[in-house]
Structure 1
Amino acid sequence: MNHEDFSMNIILHAGNAKGYLHESLQLAKNGEFEQIDSKIKQATEELLNAHKIQTKFIQEDAEETMENIPVILVHAQDHLMTVMSEKQLIIELIEMYRKQHDMNLKLDMLLEQDSPTLR
């Protein structure tokens, strides 16, 4: 596989992962937590695929060193690393949304117990 193919496949899988991560964040924002775990799992699988391609490229490059590093490869690496960082931040944000959602539910229950007429 040439460096353009490697690069485009890394970008493809990293982009898919980013899409799943942002879908999961939107679900959390809307209080829809049922599908989040499967979206995070899909994102993780996509990142793993991108990482495997990256590793294969590095192994092949070690055998026949490239004289010049193509810009598309630099872009692919940047894209992959950015999405990997986003994953960690999005997981933290989802947990914050989950805690906020749980606290809101508890608060609603307390308010209903104290004064049903306020609602």
Structure 2
Amino acid sequence: MENEMELTIMRLITAAGDARSLAMQAIRAARAGHLDEADALMIECDKKMVDAHQCQTGLIFAETNGSPVPITLLMVHAQDHVMNAMTVKDMAGEMIEMIRAATPAEKPWK
């Protein structure tokens, strides 16, 4: 059971870290004027965050069903990754929308 929990925690860290990286890539793409790419990266970021939340939910359900999750440095690290990824994702979304609003709309005429 302990090994399974460690694997879940590592999956949580990986998913959250991937989500954060995708959000940062999305910001860079938007800054370069590639808004469609930024949107695609944010969709991938959302998928990774769903993965992270599923891991987290699994750990919460395990605890509520009588299998306490030990508070280890690895678990604290995982939760830090999740919170950081959530913050970066939210800020990336706001930054991309600010960039989109500041980008002059293409005119359909010449």
TM-score by length of 2: 0.85
Aligned letter for 1:97? I
Match in the other structure for 2:89: 87
Structure-2 residue corresponding to 1:113? none
For residues 58-77 of structure 1, the aligned pairs below 5 Å read 58-66=60-68, 68-77=70-79
Q: What does the per-residue CA deviation read over 1:40-77, in whole Å, with 9 as the maximum and x for residues that have no partner?
A: 11100100011011101111122234374111111101
1:22-41 matches, within 5 Å, as 22-41=24-43
Pick which of 5-14 and 67-76 moved more: 67-76
Deviation at 1:36, TM superposition (A): 1.6
Q: Tell whether the 8 Å contact from 1:21 to 1:40 is kept in structure 2 after alignment.
A: yes
Distance in 2 (alpha carbons) for counterparts of 1:51 and 1:67: 16
| Percentage of matched positions with identical amino acids | 30
Report the Cα distance in structure 1 between the residues aligned to 2:5 and 2:17, rounded to whole angstroms: 18
Flag the 1:87–1:67 CA change in 2: closer, same or farther, 3 A: closer
The aligned counterpart of 2:101 is: 99
Q: Distance in 2 between matches of 1:81 and 1:57?
A: 16
Letter in 1 for 2:102: Q
Aligned residues: CA RMSD: 2.1
8 Å CA contact retained: 2:30, 2:37: no
Q: How many residues align?
A: 106
How far apart are the structure 1 equivalents of 2:104 and 2:66? Answer: 55
Q: Is the contact between residue 3 and residue 73 of structure 1 (CA under 8 Å) also seen in structure 2?
A: no
Gaps of 5+ in 2: none
Moved over 6 A (4+): none
Tell me the equivalent position of 2:49: 47
